[in-house]
Structure 1
């Protein structure tokens, strides 16, 4: 799925109307099947950019094309169908805490299911082998019948990533997928995502704080700072000098010292569930 953004201006979803825009005249194109990492210091506009790409919010200025279509010029029903062709994996997955992992996982297929099939899947999961296979990619097969609220933060994050493997989507948008994972789990997660996207011909775009992981797993790197594209290069051309400029005054993040948002060692308390309606 191809993305085209031209002169996009947008504010963070939680920002005040008079706040400085998170994206300031940003332009870029991502071709179908590409794998792109978006890096940059905190506050660069990475999450807002994913929200724009996911058709979750309109820009306040500029144009956005997804698969050649203008999402915000579409009827609502057509926009919902377009959203059903992509998956947005937030840093904290919106998994219902009392739901079993298998049910939460197979919910990724709801955009392609009818009403009765969707309701039935809540009580009788339709494709347990497929769910197990997706979980195994992240070393979580033994958790398939666990309740979500009994998982650690890192396990919840990996379940959220496994949902992408089951979604009927041509565009995978992944926000900070490694924030709760140790180095070994991080490598495993990145390999699983990139290999699966490549096999399916899906476009994969991920924001990352871990610069080394971005360089190791993605052929194209976009450096974002102050809501603008600082550079857009093949990973082999991203030098330490460019990174030093991108992270100027944010050296701790360049060294990978940004504090993790989740804990991978203990179960998380139930979080509010935020649903992204398709």
Structure 2
């Protein structure tokens, strides 16, 4: 297999680190972005020739554009761009501060959009490539106490699905990854929790507290196996638009979509009642 070059945001932990480690072990080249190199010093030392680390805050749009442009200029070709940087924020919507709302959207949604927009001209010029957006099955299913996270994931999924249609004729494939719960720092370390209001105690809005506590059982998803499936997706033609990782996630997504479809089908008469009569 020919060596590929991958650009991955947020490689200090979670899927980003697991993807980087597997790719470097098999001999590929990785350009990884982090805000702090401490957690990946071991990879930097182990793969000095094939692991290029860039310091990046994805909320800095100018820096995102510069990093992408410089990376393509340096390596000539980047085969796969993985938009992975992001985090979770839990709490009822009115428990969140304005600053938390702004930062989450800037990171999970705007940061991903700008990364992809920056890469597209280069991917077109080189005759194709892959873009992989790490989303969540929370991009299809919504739970109380996670409204802003869902807003970013539902938003980026709509963006990617539209862009996939725009760039398919240029040989650019786009895939949305929708993992279920996994044993990563996303859930058991980096997840942020709002300042909770007692009014929401014992309501669905605070049910996430049980999920975040490892004492109540660990998530079923294996980050290493999930990363392997993500890497393998690059060899699938045409690029799959969506991949759900985790049996619980798939079951939950199917159940939710069936309910949604049923609700839409029940509105046929209502929808038709707003059309002009035939012939008018």
Which bracket does the TM-score occupy, shorter chain normalised? 0.3 to 0.5
State TM-score, norm by structure 1.
0.32
Q: If each structure's strand is expressed as a fraction of its own residues, which one has the higher value?
A: 1
- Which of the two has higher C-alpha Rg? 2
State TM-score, norm by structure 2.
0.32
Q: Which has the higher contact order (CA 8 A, sep 6+)?
A: 1
Q: If each structure's helix is expressed as a fraction of its own residues, which one has the higher value?
A: 2
